[in-house]
Amino acid sequence: MVREFGRKVFPDHWTFMFGEVALYSFIITVLSGAFLTFWFDPSMSTTRYSGAYAPLQGLEMSSAYATALELSFDVRGGLFMRQLHHWGALLFVMAMAVHMLRVFFTGAFRKPREINWLVGATLLMLGMLAYFTGYGLPDEVLSGNGLRIADGTFRAIPVIGTYMSYLIFGGEFPAVRSFPGCTACTSS
């Protein structure tokens, strides 16, 4: 088997490394994501923050945001793992996109590799979808803005855009949440 694979021609141009970069960043993202799942609670139920970050002590917030703060400030190595997961996911999607562009512009998607191209394009779309769904989990300002941009993108599609937005977000976006004592939540 080693002799058989040893005879295969492997291109030595540096652009062929993007596939390997995507694979290794995917492995890093999966491992760091497995670590993060032990502490993260994606619930939108309200809780009163009592963690180590003093400026937010006693404020009501979603459990998702409270556990994101707990991971960042209370769990040993938690902030490092959050950053590793974040940058690994960014690198994963970027490497897949550049790899697919290289395949497209070199014509490597032609016969007999059409199925490889379709599988790669499907994996790129699934990777972007997974990145987008993970982006909104912490329930912070940045993730809310990303969801607002996605809502606007869906609504920009002629005829079916508003229906798609309504279907994806389960109603009008954003659903207004008002926490007791939060003056910024009720004023607009």
Query: What does each C-alpha distance from 121 to 53, 100, 134, 147 come to in angstroms?
Result: 42, 7, 20, 23
Residue 47 has pLDDT above 90, yes or no: yes
Q: Rounded to the nearest 5°, which phi and psi values hold at 39?
A: -115, -25
Could you tell me the two tokens for 5? Answer: 């694979």
Q: Using CA atoms, how far apart are residues 2 and 41, in angstroms rounded to an integer?
A: 46
Please report, for the chain, the start and end positions of each structural domain, with discontinuous segments joined by +: 9-39+75-138, 140-188
Does the structural domain 9-39+75-138 have CATH classification 3.40.50.80?
A: no
- Give the mean model confidence (pLDDT) for residues 149-161: 92
**CA angle, 76 then 83 then 73, to 5°:** 35
pLDDT at residue 133, as a whole number: 86
Residue 187 or 58, more confident: 58
Angle between the N-to-C axes of helices 141-155 and 114-135, in degrees from 0 to 180, rounded to the nearest 10: 130
pTM: 0.79
Is 91 within 8 Å of 25 (Cβ atoms)?
Answer: yes
